[in-house]
Chains A and B, each alone.
Chain A
Amino acid sequence: MRHSTRIAVGPVQFRIGSDWRAPIDALDRLYAGYPKDMARPADATVRLFAARPWRRWLRPSVHIGGDFIVPDALPLPLSMGLLAAEMGMNLQVALGWRRHMLLHASAVARDGRAVILSGESGSGKSTLAALLGEGAWRLMGDEFTLIEPASGDALGFPRAVSLKNAAIAEMAARVDPARLGPLLAGTPKGDIRHLIPRADAIAAMHEPARPALILFPRFGGAAAIEPMAPGEVFVRLTEASTNYVALGEAGFAALARLVRETPAFGISYPDSAAGMALVEQLWAEAVR
């Protein structure tokens, strides 16, 4: 393809090709602080392309392709090329990665132990993890948490955090502006701005962490903690995993072990400060 770059996030080496320069330049700026190995073959390929040659210039719209494609995925305008790249990278991991069990979950770690936050879009799991990652925690990732079947350890996937809507101002007030990407206004998912994880979180991206706590956050309502039975945790996590079925027996064993060994709670919280306090409280009880 005309323009391309390579990015390593956690264990995945991406090769990203594009018909336009802009998305590649934007990716290179966002991922400048990540380790780069230009000689390492790619695990996953993302293609950002124009459906017809003239659409490179005329009302340019970015189609997302690669090793795996979603047939009916709508293209994005070139101004949202960075979002297209992010979606393409997520798609390749979600559909193609087999080395670990993938959980659609954010995670933070401290002292080699991980808190896994699973929830739907809008549950606040990304914002909560990003905020914790600015304090005493290492941000492991805001999108995927990888469980190694053999050891049961969690591995991080600390891509640039995708901040949405109100979370943008909340983080912008706390971090160095140099760690924020361009504002992508009015995308199909609302306003988006990427946050580059702290340098120490990127440097530690290959370090495994033992799962200590599984939380299902729910933004809104009074602060509350609800213990969750293993059966419900198991079912919720099968739904949160993109490759549970494809992994077969290894996926079942990994998930069963994770659920058996890790306490789990649902938490509701009215604001970020309350949410962070609940995580700290449950953490203190879990590691005691």
Chain B
Amino acid sequence: MSGVRTLVDLLAGRRDADGLAPRDWDGVIGAARAEALLATLAHRLADAALPPSVAALFADQRAAAAVARAQALWEAEMARRAIAPEGIAFVLLKGTAYAAAGLSCAEGRQIGDLDILVGWHDIGRAEKELIEAGWEWVKSDPYDDAYYREHMHELPPLIHKARDRMIDVHHTILPRTHRVTPDALAMIGDAVVADGGFAVLCPADMACHCAAHLLADGDLQGGLRNLWDFHCLTRDFAAADAGFWGELDARAALHGLRAPVQRAARLARDLYGAALPPGWNRREPRDGWFVRRLLARDDWGRPTHFALQQAFYIRSHWLRMPPVMLAKHLWTKWRKG
């Protein structure tokens, strides 16, 4: 069995770690590293019987993830100090939000950039305050800069000159040119405050954003990790609130995200063994392509199924912008090499 399949089975709890031969771990670890799931797996198997060298590697991963989490939360605190005194409300998104809210998917989760959401009307002021506090532009290319400002759902990325950490300031969760337009103001208005004092999206919106990020805005690179987030979020929210799936459906309808949310739920069922309520538990033939794409990784951590990856890459652009604009964009990018 391939390493990436075994990885999914181990995360889902369908397979016991002690059933693996020592050398099976190479493929599992290789795929998990490539999918940014190694420390997640290390947490999942914290109490499992493992070969000594795997146990040691996993302990390293858990320790490193704890440091990375503290650093990510510190970065959120730095952003808060830069923009909150000006009365700009902001909501943490993705990995930093999961860590700030103490959610189970944050255990071992790699956190890259700091992602925050601010209201459209506040975006100019937020940018100014961040630059005053030491963040700088990364993109120097005028086309890219203008593209971000006119068409994207976030400012061009900023990087802090002393700490070398990136911040993405979003004003909505999908590109402005995307076929779907979620209600960002409703997301900000209904945000909840986590224990540490940071605002995060309410449970249903958090799951909506996760599904949109996984299926509506990208070519599914790193999709296994995003799907693991979705699986953990929906499982835990449903366990805490029996009405969660209904709220999620209503909220997804409000944002125009019912299709990606339902597909994410089915994929979480098919790969991670999620239990879905009646009404969600359908079969959809096209899901098979998504499963194949999510598992396109060999035992050396290399991507496989080149044509399928390309197809999903084209699909991501197709969703993101209308055809004429896409043609113009690709033409400009191609001429610039």
**Contact residues of A with B, CB < 8 Å?**
1, 13, 15, 17, 38-43, 45, 47, 66-67, 97-99, 246-250
Contact = CB atoms under 8 A, between A and B. Distances in A.
Given A42-B29, A47-B300, A67-B301, A247 B67 contact: yes
Contact of B57 (A43, A66, A250): A43
A39 B23 CA distance: 6
B276 interface: no
A259 B71 CA distance: 24
10 contacts: A38-B23, A39-B23, A41-B22, A41-B25, A41-B53, A43-B53, A45-B301, A66-B301, A67-B30, A97-B60
A41 B26 CA distance: 6
Interface string B16-38: 00000011011001100110000
Contact of A45 (B56, B61, B70, B300): B300
Contacts of A40: 22, 51, 53
A99 B55 CA distance: 12
B64 A246 contact: yes
B302 interface: yes
Interface string B41-65: 0000000000101101100110110
Contact of B302 (A13, A47, A246, A247): A47
Contacts of B60: 97-99
Contacts of B71: 248
Contacts of B26: 15, 41-42, 45
A38 B21 CA distance: 12
A43 B25 CA distance: 10
A41 B51 contact: yes
Given A45-B29, A246-B67, 9 more contacts: A17-B300, A39-B23, A41-B22, A41-B23, A41-B26, A67-B30, A67-B34, A98-B60, A98-B61
Contacts of A45: 26, 29-30, 33, 300-301
B contact patch SS:
helix
Contacts, number: 56
B301 A41 contact: no
A44 B54 CA distance: 11
Given A43-B57, A67-B30, A248 B70 contact: yes
B70 A99 contact: no
A66 B302 CA distance: 9
A66 B25 CA distance: 16
Given A15-B26, A98-B60, A246-B64, A67 B53 contact: no
A39 B33 contact: no
B299 to A, nearest CB: 9
Nearest to B30: A45
Contacts of A246: 64, 67-68
B94 to A, nearest CB: 21
Contact of A41 (B29, B33, B302): B29
A98 B68 CA distance: 12
A41 B302 CA distance: 18
A248 B25 CA distance: 28
A43 B53 CA distance: 8
9 closest Cβ pairs, A-B complex? A248-B67, A41-B25, A98-B60, A98-B64, A39-B22, A67-B33, A99-B60, A42-B26, A41-B54
Nearest to A41: B25
B63 A98 contact: yes
A248 B69 CA distance: 11
A199 B86 CA distance: 66
A40 B55 CA distance: 12
A99 B56 contact: yes
A53 B302 CA distance: 14
Contacts of B67: 246-250
Contacts of A47: 300-302
Contacts of B33: 45, 67
Contacts of A66: 301
Contacts of B23: 38-39, 41
Interface string B258-292: 00000000000000000000000000000000000
A67 B30 CA distance: 7
A250 B54 CA distance: 22
* Candidate in A47, A66, A67, A246 with the most chain B CB atoms within 10 angstroms: A67
Contacts of A42: 25-26, 29
Contacts of B56: 99
Nearest to B56: A99
Nearest to A97: B60
Contacts of B61: 98
Contacts of B51: 40-41
Nearest to B60: A98
Nearest to A46: B300
A66 B26 CA distance: 12
A245 to B, nearest CB: 9
B63 A250 contact: yes
A205 B23 CA distance: 24
Contacts of A13: 53
B92 to A, nearest CB: 21
A1 B70 contact: no
Interface string B219-249: 0000000000000000000000000000000
Nearest to A68: B33
Contacts of B57: 41, 43
A24 B51 CA distance: 26
A99 B64 CA distance: 9
